[in-house]
Amino acid sequence: MEAFVIRGGKRLEGTLRVDGAKNAVLPILAASILTEDKVTLEDVPQITDAAHMAEILEILGCRVTRSGRVLTVDSGNLSQWEMPDRLSKQIRSSIFLLGPILSRFRKATVTYPGGCEIGLRPIDLHLRGLRRLGVVVTEEGGLIHCDGSRMRPGDVYFDYPSVGATENVMMAAVLLDGVTTIHNAAREPEIVDLQNFINAMGGHVRGAGSHAIEITGVKHLRGVIWTPVPDRIVAGTLLAAAAITGGEIELTHAPGGDMVAVLSKLREMGCDIREEEARLCLRAPARLTAFAQLQTQPHPGFPTDMQVQMLALLAVAEGTGIIVENVFENRFTHAGDLNRMGANILCSGRTAVVRGVEQLYGARVTARDLRGGAALVLAGLRAQGETQVDQACLIDRGYDHLEDQLGALGADIRRTAL
């Protein structure tokens, strides 16, 4: 087990390039098995979720190789339709493989996926969507058995615009003979990237980024070389790191157009942000000003994956602000750790009221999920004294050596074994 140790008080400044997006890489890795040709992904970050997904693909029979930031998948010898239990429980995005496996074998057996404990995140929307495509789903002993022998295109309506369910149905429908339409689809930019990836392989998908996605089935797909979109959550976290320390940062390969909600809140807190093509420059005041209210929403609303980072910023801002979490029910689990560091946060249900304090103080705290762990690191950057954030492995799920990135900006941060 490892931890991050941070000595706060350093003003961050410098230039960084934003990595490829975790939430784009994972479904694209899953979609790579839709073709028997080789698929090459460039700019794949060194994160454990990507490593676990690659390991799952290898167990299923794929040949996966990595050279630096380039990852190649050859699924020509794909032979298994049963997902490995241990790895599936470690990575939530393993559920993305359900649709592609059904496309290849017309059957699949998966276990309930794991990941961060930020809420129930039921997969009923995934299964309901697949049932609309003629898949027979049975659940037994913690396993989900899917019979796709009678799969067909169809109309799929989601009660809630689930990102994962939208992507899963997209992938399941790509090789079906006919037209499938997803209504009330999620609109995240990573879904647009998945559409563009599938189309580069010869698929016919349109409408991603809107509430309706239309998939016209094709007989086969070909291999492709693809570069996923940059990670808007990593970019937002790095901007927040500069903001909480009163710093100045320049991000290249930055998806500013997909970050309107986040940039708006940072500006509301007093940050000067300049947007250029694929470039973001932020200059923060010595002390941030509290925004009145923030509510998480599906894209293009404020992303839930940036909520807890903004909670950390609000903790040291001048004034009082309110955060309402509308997506996951357990996204304030790190408020207690922030309060241990001197913050004044009162949580009730899905609402947090934050009265900003002038100073946080170092403490030993524990990451309980990916984004919450990153938020504790941000708090440590601002805190007086030394902060130790245990369970660094959870942060590694979505950040490529976060200590190196922050260290390059002047942070006093190191990784240590416990």
Tell me the C-alpha distance between 54 and 35, whole Å. 16
Is 347 a known active-site residue?
Answer: no
Beta bridge partners of 242: none
- Single-letter amino acid, residue 267: R
Q: How many Å separate Cα 35 from the centre of its chain? A: 25
Q: How many Å separate Cα 220 from the centre of its chain? A: 29
Assess contact for 389 and 366: CB atoms under 8 A.
yes
Closest CA to 357 of 263, 411, 288, 309: 288
Query: DSSP letters of 87-102?
Result: HHTT-GGGGGGHHHHH
Widest CA span in the chain:
62
Assess contact for 113 and 91: CB atoms under 8 A.
yes
- Single-letter amino acid, residue 109: T
Tell me the C-alpha distance between 35 and 24, whole Å. 18
Give the CA distances from residue 247 to residues 135, 282, 399, in Å, rounded to whole numbers and listed in that order: 53, 8, 20
Tell me the C-alpha distance between 253 and 273, whole Å. 16
Assess contact for 118 and 328: CB atoms under 8 A.
yes
Assess contact for 83 and 57: CB atoms under 8 A.
no
Closest CA to 231 of 16, 14, 15: 16
Tell me the C-alpha distance between 72 and 64, whole Å. 6
Active-site residue (options: 116, 146, 271, 347): 116
Helix, strand or coil, per DSSP, at residue 372: helix
Which H helix or E strand runs over 224? strand 224-226
Assess contact for 227 and 255: CB atoms under 8 A.
no
Q: Six-digit token pair at 238?
A: 């790095």
Helix, strand or coil, per DSSP, at residue 292: coil
Which H helix or E strand runs over 72? strand 70-74
Catalytic residues: 116
